Amino acid sequence: MDHTGNLRLSSYDYDLPQELIAQDPLSNRSDSRLMVMDRYTGTFHHHNFFDLPDFLREGDCLVLNNTRVIPARLIGKREGSGGRAELLLLKKLEDGCWETLAKPGKRLKAGSRIDFGDGTLFGEVREVCPDGNRIVEFFYDMEKYQVFEEVLDQLGEMPLPPYITHTLEDRERYQTVYARETGSAAAPTAGLHFTQELLSDISKKGVTVCELTLHVGLGTFRPVKEENLENHQMHSEFYQVPEETAAKINQCRQAGGRVIAVGTTTTRTLESVADVDGRINPGSGWTDIFLYPGYRFKAVDGLLTNFHLPKSTLIMLVSAFAGREHVLAAYAEAVRQRYRFFSFGDAMLLLPGVFDEGEVRHVSG
């Protein structure tokens, strides 16, 4: 398969009707549709997400990202003027302050104070970063709340992506059912389709299910502005790969099983910590790895992912994994078949040699 692809930003555009952007999650997570594609031939079939166990086999390893989204959007009033101010928490710093995205940026200079929740929580801008982000220190009633995250849970809102305009009735629908490690500004959306029952069925089939953590930053939605992809600078995100997870993945690979990553975040983490031979090293740190055509995957054999924005680093990652032409052909078919796109949309599973040789593309189910 040709992985060299195309390094021009314009090569990752496609036409998407606005009405195919999913605004609301389905009532049943696993009722989503699932396009299954052979990453080598581009052959694809149409299924439902609850069919996923049919494409997994004993000895495979399914790797999940167990990060949990924090209600990172805070809306308050500027001290003095009473004008509206909004902060989006991006990253917790070692001194307890937060790096934030601030609106209106021009009015929130160093020393500005913001009142959230009628005196329950205050934020003070400590520093304006070169990129326009604000470093903010928060103050709250420490007798009432033991940790800042408790206040955030009371006052914060879920930071839904900008293309979702509907109000989310149930905050837990923007969390995976296995979300545990708090720290993300956005959900690892490929995992939103899983139910506990489906995970149980997968385990019963002899598939090893293991977890790692990558806290998703809002940089995941930042548009690529460089026409030459090699000039794009990726955002940095914190990851943690437990020893137990590394051991299970390495054991799977040694026994000839397939390592299947749930989501682009899991994929980026595994490729960040893998040796040249695909062996996973446990540990934690920060990764800004950018996977685009020309990259040779070391650790991941299969990828489960949603349908991504045009010209995004995410569609570039999928194109690196399965070939740009194959991926864009699959996306065009998804549009024709009225798949639902983006965070609350449908999913695709990319596997090596998943269909018999010579089988033609067709719609089933």
Is 47 inside a domain boundary? yes
Are 78 and 224 in the same domain? no
* Axis-axis angle for helices 313-322, 324-336 (nearest 10): 110
Provide the domain count of the chain. 2
Q: Which tens digit of pLDDT belongs to each residue from 244-298?
A: 999 999 999 999 999 999 999 999 999 999 999 999 999 999 999 999 999 999 9
Reported residue count of the chain is 365
Whether the predicted pLDDT of 361 surpasses 50 = no
Is 62 inside a domain boundary? yes
Note the pLDDT of residue 336.
Answer: 98
Please compute, for residue 352, the number of CA atoms within 13 A of its CA located in the half-sphere on the CB side. Answer: 11
List the strands of the sheet with 61-65, edge to edge.
44-48, 33-38, 347-351, 302-306, 259-262, 61-65, 208-214, 237-241, 283-287
By residue range, what is the domain housing residue 275?
9-69+170-351
Are 40 and 111 in the same domain? no
Are 200 and 334 in the same domain? yes
Which residue, of 90, 121, 155, is where some domain finishes?
A: 155
Whether the predicted pLDDT of 363 surpasses 70 = no
Note the pLDDT of residue 221.
Answer: 67
Are 55 and 181 in the same domain? yes
Are 137 and 199 in the same domain? no
Minimum mean pLDDT among 30-39, 154-163, 254-263, 316-325: which range? Answer: 154-163
Token pair belonging to 227: 């026409």
Is 164 inside a domain boundary? no
Query: Model-level pTM?
Result: 0.89
CA distance 266 to 303: 9
If you average pLDDT over residues 183-198, what whole number do you get?
A: 95
Are 32 and 89 in the same domain? no
Residues 212 and 63 sit within 8 Å (Cβ to Cβ): yes
